[in-house]
Amino acid sequence: MKVLITGGTGTLGKELIKKFYQEWEITVLSRDELKQAQLKAIYPKVKFIIGDIRDYHSVLKAVRGIDVILHCAAMKRIEVCEKHPIEAVKTNVLGTENIIMAAREKGIEKLISISSDKGVEPINVYGMTKAIQEKIVIAEGYNCVRYGNVFGSRGSVVPLFCEQMKKGGPLTVTDPEMTRFILTTDQAIELIMLALNSPMEGKIFVKKSPSARIGDIAESFGGETKVIGKMIGEKMHEMLIAKEETLRAEDKGDHYIISLKMNGLKASEPYTSDKERRLTQEEIKELVKEYKQRNNLD
């Protein structure tokens, strides 16, 4: 199977390459030539293309001969998207349109787009662009996956706390009472494969996940913490399924599937991180330990 991973030098892309290197014929489209060179040294069979999803010609070149597209590329940092909203639109919205148009032009039947809980009732630019991205993808009959924070992903609090601990602290916490949905990279990939192996019917696959207080994550490192206050665009608690979406959400046990059709039931409460089961300190410490081992950190 020939698979294109957009933004394939990011956290999720690297894990996909690692897991399926021997099974798939992988092509990566991204802008970072240094990270591409570093990954090429480890995975010589992967084809790397320098390009930007904002450029339709780059995308069209990358999708030639491809069977499946995993669309992971995005501007993700909330504060950067807040300062440069048009740039976020160009990447997350117009870039996605380029991916979809190229897929249709080349007759690619399978495409999965990676979404976020921040796209549910969004209050920041990043979330707004991810919400539109979902609409673009499902309108064309492709599937999306939607989940919360992948533990230890680039730009999240875990690598930040590791770096701050290395420098002697303190650990900067915006608000210790904030909660976030947490899942591992393996769980994220499992959801992607579930959506990929399901019929392409414009559905959104949502992973059920425990949550964690930001304060609990910081405390698991054992260092001094410093509360710095919420950033613009941050929510206290995240949402994976809005109340209106519960009318279209089917409970599948460890995940939900949101379709375009109503399920005939009354709306239920939204699926929010403050109502979900909280990870214990022991569970968080184990996740931190696994993250450090995976990244060769002391």
**Residue 253 within a domain:** yes
**Residue 232 within a domain:** no
DSSP 68-125: EEEE------HHHHHH-HHHHIIIIIIHHHHHHHHHHHTT--EEEEEEEGGGSS--SH
* Phi, psi (degrees; rounded to nearest 5) at 209: -145, 145
| Tokens encoding 136 | 């673009």
Distance, CA of 197 to CA of 194 (rounded, Å): 5
pLDDT for 295: 79
**Residue 136 within a domain:** yes
**Residue 173 within a domain:** no
How does pLDDT run along the chain (298 residues), one tens digit per residue? Answer: 999 999 999 999 999 999 999 999 999 999 999 999 999 999 999 999 999 999 999 999 999 999 999 999 999 999 999 999 999 999 999 999 999 999 999 999 999 999 999 999 999 999 999 999 999 999 999 999 999 999 988 878 999 999 999 898 899 999 999 999 999 999 999 999 999 999 999 999 999 999 999 999 999 988 899 999 988 889 999 999 999 999 999 999 999 999 988 776 677 899 999 999 999 999 999 999 988 888 777 6
In this structure, are residues 49 and 13 in contact, taking their beta carbons and an 8 Å threshold?
Answer: no
144 lies in which domain range?
2-149+183-209+239-270
In this structure, are residues 255 and 208 in contact, taking their beta carbons and an 8 Å threshold?
Answer: yes
What is this structure's pTM? 0.94
In this structure, are residues 151 and 287 in contact, taking their beta carbons and an 8 Å threshold?
Answer: yes
**Residue 16 within a domain:** yes
**Residue 27 within a domain:** yes
Domain count across the chain: 1
pLDDT for 155: 74
**Residue 19 within a domain:** yes
Distance, CA of 146 to CA of 123 (rounded, Å): 17
Q: Known catalytic residue: 110?
A: no
CB neighbour class for 155 (10 Å; exposed up to 12, middle 13-18, buried from 19): middle
Start-to-end C-alpha separation, the chain: 38
In this structure, are residues 17 and 39 in contact, taking their beta carbons and an 8 Å threshold?
Answer: yes
**Residue 156 within a domain:** no
At residue 48, the 3 state secondary structure works out as: strand
Type of residue found at 258: I
- Tell me, what CATH number does 125's domain have? 3.40.50.720
127-132-133-135 Cα dihedral, nearest 10 degrees: 130
Which residue in the list 118, 130, 208, 235 is annotated as catalytic? 118
- Can you state the angle between helices 157-166 and 281-294, rounded to 10 degrees? 80
Distance, CA of 69 to CA of 15 (rounded, Å): 16
Distance, CA of 107 to CA of 231 (rounded, Å): 42
